[in-house]
């Protein structure tokens, strides 16, 4: 959702010498001294969707709930994940819940077919139905029930007035340095708090700058960021942009996508935070744009095969024939040169 301000043309699809599709968006790079660069309108208000899962997990780590539950970095990575529902993800979340003395029925995310084809096919062959552990947000919800148990709060933790969601709203406002502009209900039933893209980039810069020698909040931020970078396979899954691009950057940068073409990045070596939103919600455009920006910043090699997979380039059909070209829009390309 945007405020109607002009978005920056970013990604285009050309076919037969004619512009066929165009994707515009907004992007912000935030540094230690404030905004470094912006495209479109940095004050555009968005729902961050799953790109903000590290913010939603922050109260669990900062409060001591994660340590009280004996959580390891893999659990913290899962708490920030939008995973594929692969066997790996299902097993890890099941063990997490069992360690809490809880089960799948304690989650409130709902069940859907896993995105992982191997696990989906296994369920079909076995005549089994997917459960809530297959939900791409089940790791986040394991974090929610961990914090809920630590607080001694009631089981309906996705309700807006639940102590957990009040804590998440408070920490959201603190790290974005903004009053939230309202909320929507996410696909996993949890509230998703709206704020500006600049606020999201500011929050990502705080995560990027956090060190494990700082305050309790900085330590918690650093732990979540490093867990994501160390366990990219848990944050998304095989073939997914978040997993592949973090691998391509050697675990030096943590990135996270969100539904409707949102992307964020935490770049600790430069102390930078990045936030991006494609207005029409197209994933192909958000992935191409974030790769271009990460390459421009200098933390991702544009020649890396996993970057090339998503950068604009020649489009081919199933017979290998060239059908068109995905391009950076002229103004956006100029900004990246």
Is position 270 within any domain?
yes
Is position 2 within any domain?
no
DSSP state letter for 59: H
Predicted confidence band of residue 1 (pLDDT cuts 50, 70, 90): very low
Give the separation between CA 95 and CA 31, rounded to whole angstroms: 38
Determine if the pTM surpasses 0.85: yes
Phi, psi of 39 (to 5 degrees): -125, 140
Q: How many residues belong to the chain? A: 337
pLDDT at residue 5 in the model: 61
Is position 252 within any domain?
yes
Q: Which of 329, 322, 277 is nearest to 22 (CA)?
A: 329
16: its two tokens: 């037969």
Is position 239 within any domain?
yes
Q: pLDDT tens-digit profile of 266-312?
A: 999 999 999 999 999 999 999 999 999 999 999 999 999 999 999 98
User: 3-class DSSP state for residue 299?
Assistant: coil
Q: Which of 27, 32, 38 is nearest to 205 (CA)?
A: 32
Give CA angle at 92 (134, 228), nearest 5°: 95
pLDDT at residue 2 in the model: 42
The tally of domains found in the chain comes to: 1
Q: Which of 208, 212, 254, 213 is nearest to 231 (CA)?
A: 254
pLDDT at residue 3 in the model: 46
Q: pLDDT tens-digit profile of 55-85?
A: 999 999 999 999 999 999 999 999 999 999 9
Is position 326 within any domain?
yes
The strand pairing partners of 21, in sequence order, are 13
What domain range includes position 265? 8-336
Is position 3 within any domain?
no
Q: pLDDT tens-digit profile of 188-227?
A: 999 999 999 999 999 999 999 999 998 999 999 999 999 9
Give the separation between CA 141 and CA 249, rounded to whole angstroms: 28
CATH assignment of the domain containing 141: 3.40.710
- How many Cβ atoms sit within 10 Å of the Cβ of residue 155? 15
Is position 140 within any domain?
yes
């Amino acid at each position: 959702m945007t405020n109607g301000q002009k978005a920056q043309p970013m990604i285009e699809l050309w076919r037969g010498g004619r512009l066929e599709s165009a994707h515009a968006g907004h992007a912000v790079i935030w540094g230690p001294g404030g905004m470094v660069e912006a495209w479109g309108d940095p004050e555009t208000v968005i729902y961050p969707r799953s790109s903000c899962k590290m913010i939603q997990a922050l109260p669990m780590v900062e409060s001591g709930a994660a340590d009280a539950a004996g959580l390891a970095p893999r659990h913290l990575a899962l708490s920030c994940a939008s995973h594929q529902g692969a066997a790996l993800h299902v097993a890890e979340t099941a063990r997490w819940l069992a360690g809490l003395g809880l089960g799948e029925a304690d989650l409130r995310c709902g069940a859907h077919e896993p995105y992982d084809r191997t696990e989906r096919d296994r369920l079909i062959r076995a005549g089994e139905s997917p459960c809530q552990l297959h939900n791409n947000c089940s790791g986040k919800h394991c974090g929610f029930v961990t914090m809920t148990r630590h607080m001694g709060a009631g089981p309906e933790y996705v309700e807006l007035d639940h102590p957990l969601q009040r804590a998440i709203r408070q920490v959201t406002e603190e790290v974005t340095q903004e009053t939230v502009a309202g909320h929507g209900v996410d696909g996993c039933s949890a509230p998703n708090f709206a704020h500006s893209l600049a606020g999201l980039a500011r929050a990502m810069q705080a995560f990027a700058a956090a060190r494990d020698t700082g305050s309790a909040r900085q330590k918690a931020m650093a732990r979540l960021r490093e867990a994501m970078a160390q366990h990219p396979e848990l944050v998304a899954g095989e073939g997914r942009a978040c997993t592949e691009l973090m691998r391509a950057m050697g675990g030096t940068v943590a990135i996270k996508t969100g539904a409707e073409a949102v992307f964020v990045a935490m770049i600790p070596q430069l102390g930078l935070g990045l936030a991006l939103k494609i207005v029409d919600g197209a994933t192909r455009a958000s992935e191409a744009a974030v790769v271009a920006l990460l390459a421009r910043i200098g933390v991702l090699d544009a020649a890396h095969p996993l970057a090339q997979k998503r950068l604009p380039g020649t489009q081919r059909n199933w017979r290998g024939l060239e059908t068109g070209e995905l391009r950076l829009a002229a103004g956006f390309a100029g900004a990246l040169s």
